[in-house]
Amino acid sequence: MAYTLEQFCADHRVILTSGLPINEALDRVADKLKSLLANPDFVAASFSDDTPIGRRTLHHDPHTDVYVLAHVYEGPKKGTPHSHGASWAVYGTARAVTEMIEWRRTNPESEPNAVLEPAKSYALRAGEVRAYGPGVIHSTAHPEKAWVIRVTGTDLDAIPRFRYRPKTDTIKTDTIVEKRN
């Protein structure tokens, strides 16, 4: 029997309330999301070629405040570096590809403008997932239309997050440390 959204939601609730350290818990949630994305019925029910561009909520757990979101990104689209503040996110690509860059800040946070350099670069292809803990700076790019599931620790629009802008921050893009095919 294929792994379902309902099973995923029950599993992430157990994982996130188990007392595990957050990075270990997020790795387990990512593994469960990978199982969910392997279910073609879930992917077909969540996305079709005519699903509108944008985000919609597939599930919200009021006990943990976790959101399971379905995103359709119109490509080509390139996001700026950002973090989810005190929250976290697990990204999983359902269809197409999400290009990811993880960034590191090289100057003190006490300075008003950030200096960022890439730490890792890789692609999340259909069925691949990655967890980003609190404060992890990352950016996404979609060379073509992409269908993505994102699981977040809260409503990210309701908390302070950090976006880094090329007009005010220094974002070094000349060196990518790691490429994964």
Higher pLDDT, 49 or 5: 5
29-38: average pLDDT: 98
Cis, peptide link before residue 76, omega less than 30° from 0: yes
Q: Does residue 32 surpass a pLDDT of 80?
A: yes
pLDDT band at 173, cuts 50/70/90?
low
Residue 172 has pLDDT above 80, yes or no: no
Q: What is the pLDDT of residue 18?
A: 97
Structural contact between residues 4 and 39, judged by C-beta atoms closer than 8 angstroms: yes
Q: In angstroms, rounded to a whole number, what is the distance separating the alpha carbons of residues 36 and 5?
A: 7
> Phi and psi of 157, rounded to 5°?
-75, -10
The owner of tokens 């029997």 is 1
User: What is the DSSP-derived secondary structure letter of residue 125?
Assistant: E
CB-CB contact of 59 with 126 (8 Å): no
pLDDT band of residue 181 (cuts 50, 70, 90) is very low
pTM for the full model? 0.91
Q: What CATH number is attached to the domain comprising 105? A: 2.60.120.10
Would you say residue 106 has pLDDT above 70? yes
pLDDT bracket for residue 171 (50, 70, 90)? confident
Q: What is the pLDDT of residue 114?
A: 92
Cα–Cα distance between 161 and 85 in angstroms, integer?
A: 4
Number of domains in the chain: 1
What range defines the domain where residue 84 resides?
5-180
**The two three-digit tokens of residue 136, written as one number:** 């992890």
| Average predicted confidence (pLDDT) for the chain | 93
**pLDDT over 80 at 176, yes or no:** no
- Total Cβ atoms within 10 A of residue 149: 24
| pLDDT-based confidence at residue 8 (cuts at 50, 70, 90) | very high
What whole-number distance in Å separates Cα of residue 31 and Cα of residue 71? 19
Structure confidence at residue 178 (pLDDT):
45
